[in-house]
Amino acid sequence: MDAPLTIHQHIEAEELPPNLGSLLDQAIARFADKPLWIAMEESGPDLTYRQFGALVARTANAFRDMGVRKGVHVGIMLPNVPQFLAGWLALARMGAVLVPINPTYTPDELHYMLSDGDVEFLLIDTARLGTLQAIADRPGVPPASSVMVWGGVRDSGPYRDWDAMLAAASDAFSVTDPVALDDIINIQYTSGSTGFPKGCLLSHRYWLTMGKVKSVLWPTFERIQCDLPFYYMGPMWRFTLAAFQGAALCVPPAYSLTRFVERLRRYRIDFGWMTDPVGMLPETPEDGDNNLKLIAIFGMSQPLREPVARRFKVPVRDSYGMTEIGSGLYMPMDASHMAATASCGIPAPFRRCMIADESGNPVKPGEIGELCVAGPGILQGYYKKPEATAKAFWNGTWFRTGDLFRQDENGYFYIVGRIKDMIRRSAENISAIEVEAALSAMPQIEEAAVIGVKDALRGEEVKACIVLKRGWTPQAVTPQMVVEHCRGHLARFKLPRYVQFYEALPKTGSNKVAKKRLTEGEGTPCTATFDMTEGVWR
């Protein structure tokens, strides 16, 4: 007699929907009049699955009228509104490719995304038109005739009025081009350690796998917290989770730490995610008065885990993932004995995980090495960056995460540190090299190194270590001037909080900045460290 299937084998044996459009069709058929989009704090109309499906159809027809076809790259630069999510699903139906763009980007950052991503059409918030117009004459920017503007445009000028286009479009959309499970749907940019953001080539299988795995391994939800910006991967996998279960996404205008707990109660959210800043909020008697079935955490500090579970009277479970791999590790719901430990859990379904040495060979249990991940649905490479793609894999199979791990004798994985030169500030990954490039463009700076500084609230903060050119002094080139220069090149979350001036930075034998030694205090500083938030020298 055959042994019963494990939960992992059961998940892996079930057939996935053919593509994201099919997932939406199935969800509409099953949950037509259930809410899909709940606009928190009166930020817009709520939508049922049926109503959202009609919006997706109108969006696809409007895109088609613009000339979008299968394989075409379309940028979306919108706030957290249904039109962003509908745009993604409409492109999925058409077999086109989304390039999601952070609405807070500067002109330089927007130009990089448009040109590197080969964006042919752009859907943009009217409030961000100035950013686009600042780079309209640069190569790689879509012409005005290929730009659609959302948000109550009075006079769209050379651009197309997206609201008017949607109003005129049909609620019925006919698919003309077949869309396969492994077709690319996202070029999802992620900050890494090798310079400017790289575009991860993510398929329909990637998103369907994430949604399927979480929908089976976690409880069945009714209301899912969805307060991250929609240019992230988080809201997109939350949609696939919701579509498998018939749940609603509870979407606020923006994330709020001060209103976080109140929102959980007011909107009866039963799946939420928490970070260290939430866990450090003052405890109140009302914390346990909620509908939560699960709190998901992603690397929350180990001492906070048990107090959060106690305060909110709900299981807290960690997991590990990244843009390149989607789900990697997870803590099972029945592993309550491990939930308060520092472990990220065990490999998720569809994933094989190996801790490797510097040659790509597996290490022994208990030894530290780089976590490598393989399995169907991970990224298919970095867009237009074959060398980076080749370096990211061992033998073309095992994706190298750049994170150091160990595994205990029971098979549980623990993150130890990072190989990558990347700073993790709250939920943001910040490439140190990208910030250094912005600093190096300042004429007065001879050399700059950027490192992460531990911070109790945000995990890490950005610190700029600067050597000025001969003839310039910290009195003439102030920290405020340095950060103001960066403001023209970087989004706000990437700006250095700390600035320190040096006579010289520590170097390796190959004359590169020795960042580890710099972090440990080596170098020749000529000033204290200036804290931009507090406005003081330390």
Summarised one tens digit per residue, pLDDT across range 290-344 is: 999 999 998 888 889 999 999 999 999 999 999 999 999 999 999 999 999 999 9
The domain in which residue 500 lies consists of: 423-537
Residues sharing a CB contact under 8 Å with residue 477, sequence separation 6 or more, in sequence order: 444, 445, 468
Contact 190, 196 (CB under 8 A): no
pLDDT tier at 433, thresholds 50, 70, 90 = confident
pLDDT at position 66 is 97
Element at 121 (helix H, strand E) = strand 121-125
pLDDT at position 424 is 86
Q: Look over the chain and give the mean of its residue pLDDT values, rounded to a whole number.
A: 94
| Strand ranges in 164-292 using DSSP code E only, listed in sequence order | 184-190, 198-203, 223-225, 248-251, 271-274
- 6-31 mean pLDDT: 97
On whether residue 450 sits in a domain, the answer given is yes
Q: Rounded to a whole number, what is the largest CA-CA distance in the chain?
A: 83
pLDDT tier at 5, thresholds 50, 70, 90 = low
Burial 120-155 (b: 16+ CB within 10 A, else e): bbbbbbbebbebbeebeeeeebbebebbbbbbebee
Over 50: is that where the pLDDT of 225 sits? yes
Over 60: is that where the pLDDT of 419 sits? yes
270 and 148 within one domain: no
* Burial tier of 280 (Cβ tally within 10 Å: 0-12, 13-18, 19+): middle
261 and 162 within one domain: no
pLDDT tier at 196, thresholds 50, 70, 90 = confident
pLDDT tier at 431, thresholds 50, 70, 90 = confident
**According to DSSP H, which parts of 45-81 are helical?**
49-66
Contact 405, 370 (CB under 8 A): yes
Over 50: is that where the pLDDT of 53 sits? yes
Q: Residue 524: give its domain's CATH number.
A: 3.30.300.30
410 and 435 within one domain: no
* Burial tier of 337 (Cβ tally within 10 Å: 0-12, 13-18, 19+): exposed
pLDDT tier at 155, thresholds 50, 70, 90 = low
**What single-letter DSSP state applies at residue 146?**
G
On whether residue 441 sits in a domain, the answer given is yes
- Minimal CA–CA distance to 492: which of 104, 232, 134? 104
Give the rounded percent of residues in the chain with a pLDDT score beyond 90: 86
CB atoms within 10 A of CB 80: 24
Helix (H, G, I), strand (E, B) or coil at 8: helix
pLDDT in tens, 356-387: 999 999 999 999 999 999 999 999 999 999 99
pLDDT in tens, 490-534: 999 999 999 999 999 998 766 788 888 899 999 999 999 999 999
335 and 266 within one domain: yes
Q: Residue 97: give its domain's CATH number.
A: 3.40.50.12780
When divided into structural domains, the chain yields a total of 3
Contact 525, 490 (CB under 8 A): no
Give the rounded percent of residues in the chain with a pLDDT score beyond 70: 97
CB atoms within 10 A of CB 167: 10
Domain boundary among 403, 418, 433: 418
CB atoms within 10 A of CB 179: 20
Over 50: is that where the pLDDT of 1 sits? no
309 and 352 within one domain: yes
414 and 265 within one domain: yes
pLDDT tier at 2, thresholds 50, 70, 90 = low
Residue 272 CA to residue 408 CA, distance in Å, equals 29
450 and 387 within one domain: no
- 381-408 mean pLDDT: 95
117 and 62 within one domain: yes
128 and 189 within one domain: yes
CB half-sphere exposure, 77, CA atoms < 13 A: 29
441 and 407 within one domain: no
* Burial tier of 253 (Cβ tally within 10 Å: 0-12, 13-18, 19+): middle
On whether residue 290 sits in a domain, the answer given is yes
Over 80: is that where the pLDDT of 404 sits? yes
pLDDT tier at 204, thresholds 50, 70, 90 = very high
Residue-by-residue DSSP string for 413-433: EEEEEE-S-EEEETTEEEEHH
Q: 94-98, 269-273, 457-461: which has the minimum mean pLDDT?
A: 457-461
